Chains A and B, each alone.
Chain A
């Protein structure tokens, strides 16, 4: 058997996954390096606010994550990240899928980025426009290489992945055919103008 699964899409998907998994190994070290900032950040969160013991992220962590996710992928003419259930997917990853390193990496990452984005006005208290301006400025620095923030990029990739695998992301924002029925190698873009969801 040989592999034909080497479209760029798959390669990038795989490296996205590798990124997520590398987290498990590197998470503990990263956590040590940021411990004082993390401790400080922890104080802003209601650590006891777990809705259920099976949910790893607290209510305040989920609100912070949701605000960031919805700023990365807002609702437009199609639903945004929160409406598509993205924070719940990430809650599931932390609660049921990942190991302790993964959980720690994400908890500290969410808190640290949230704190970074919050000035006198907390990120959650900002209007959507303010959130986009603040997060956009931070994102620009990360992608310009001025700030190295692997967690932020992992979070962004995960938010986007969860969004485009969600039903609204796949079927409304993009185009999805569960059973295409046939392969047509060439067709005008006007006939199929959207990115295929899978």
Chain B
């Protein structure tokens, strides 16, 4: 008799969803988290006023020494660093001359605490892209398969957004959108008039603008427009595993949350070809831990989940569990960022705004859709904002005394900032593998992350940079600062913090790790529903897709268990 019906490895964006769906269906679920518990009162810093911030919230030499990689993240500062790993304690390697930015936190909720909350559906265009281009393998699902689960995920998580009727970016179940500033409205009009295939729409963010009864019942409240989300939210107003899925799982009485246990292996019984649980180590005491379950979900990230299975190799499966295809750990993808542009936007200085919007505008993909791209397939979307120049944008200015001081008091000119996020193609050569000899201090193999961009990504970011300039010019802006279209490069692999693809789903067990329900082709009671399953990346922020696929996979796994299939 196993300890649990299901063991879920990882409590973040996707693991929380699996736990919720399974617990709500009456299954006994253990969620095993390698990090520490989160106490909102102690860990969330969203009520700290600027003058309470020590040392002007500047990152100091000690911080850079402890967090050389994590400290580069836009969401990292002195009042969020509790959510990021100390790099020295969690080593990984890259091949000589290559870079990979692996950004992560070890705590209950994982990166669902620090995410940027942008929530977009993938479309039929994305799910058929590999097939149309005969690239990599086809997705085993189509938009119609996942659409009801997007509805389900959005309804529960709470996504603010506008209904636009775009094929490239399907509409969903939305709470009211965050409205544009007057300058953003003007930018939208200029772009849409100059480029008929392009749209500038409100960002779709997992911040509650009109909470439902279901959300209120979980203790979640309306977004207070503070834009301190990366510090955690005492109002539970943005979606995190901590604010939403884990409390929903917990209230069923079926959840057991086990923290500070790093899973190293999935246990497998050769006679029945079933996984029987997980083995790991308590990271505080170094004691070995075994947790048994009738089925296992891996939700430990697209870097760690494949490594756990590769580290679970047996005589039966010498290349790693669930790896008869040889694809496990391969086809690592991300989204690159680039094509940045900053400029002054001519718009009325008689208009201002109130509050701090945790969101911005979004320009859905138009390349290789309504407009051709030059030298690349797929495309990119843009995210940006146009605000009045704040005080901090005006500190390095001539003058002293009352004149200098007076130059801060009124809102400055309108400033525009934009960045593109582009699709990275799945390539076998981009992969993660365990180091043969080196381990971390708990005995888990050090990951070697080997990922490089191709000409497709480079040509794409250059087109995006040309497009940035053209849209700024169309809106009457001078480019103040931005990338050069001739030399622009995509951000380093991993920098998008969207690692995915390392246990891709497909129809053929010979070329894919998972079937269309996130279930291992090789071992029927093993599932992976973190970003590892992604067969291609789209250019949309992926968390909403992880939520929808996780809920669908849990529903499917639950049915299989009830039917006695697994």
Contacts and interface: CB of A to CB of B under 8 A. Distances in A.
A58 B388 CA distance: 40
7 contacts: A1-B116, A8-B417, A17-B59, A73-B405, A164-B395, A186-B180, A198-B356
B56 A161 contact: yes
Contacts of A119: none
A185 B395 contact: no
Interface of B: 47, 49-51, 53-61, 64, 74-75, 111, 114-116, 118, 178-182, 184-185, 203, 222-226, 335, 337, 340, 342, 349-360, 383-385, 387-402, 404-406, 408-412, 415-419, 421, 481, 496-498, 541, 543
Interface in A117-152: 132, 135-136, 139-140, 142-144
A180 interface: yes
A156 B397 CA distance: 9
B103 to A, nearest CB: 8
A180 B396 contact: no
Contacts of B225: 180-183
Contact of A4 (B57, B182, B203, B223): B203
Given A96-B55, A98-B60, A183-B353, A157 B396 contact: yes
B115 A1 contact: yes
A113 interface: no
Contact of A2 (B337, B397, B398): B337
Contact of B415 (A9, A166, A186): A9
Contacts of A197: 50, 391
B59 A21 contact: yes
Nearest to A157: B395
B411 A194 contact: yes
Interface size class of A (residues with CB under 8 A): 35 or more
Interface of A: 1-13, 16-17, 20-21, 24, 71-74, 76, 89, 92-93, 96-99, 102, 132, 135-136, 139-140, 142-144, 153, 156-158, 160-162, 164-167, 170, 173-174, 176-189, 191-198
B200 to A, nearest CB: 14
Given A1-B114, A8-B393, A13-B392, A99 B355 contact: no
Contact of B349 (A20, A71, A76, A189): A189
A24 B61 contact: yes
A170 B50 contact: yes
Contacts of B388: 195
A191 to B, nearest CB: 7
A11 B342 CA distance: 9
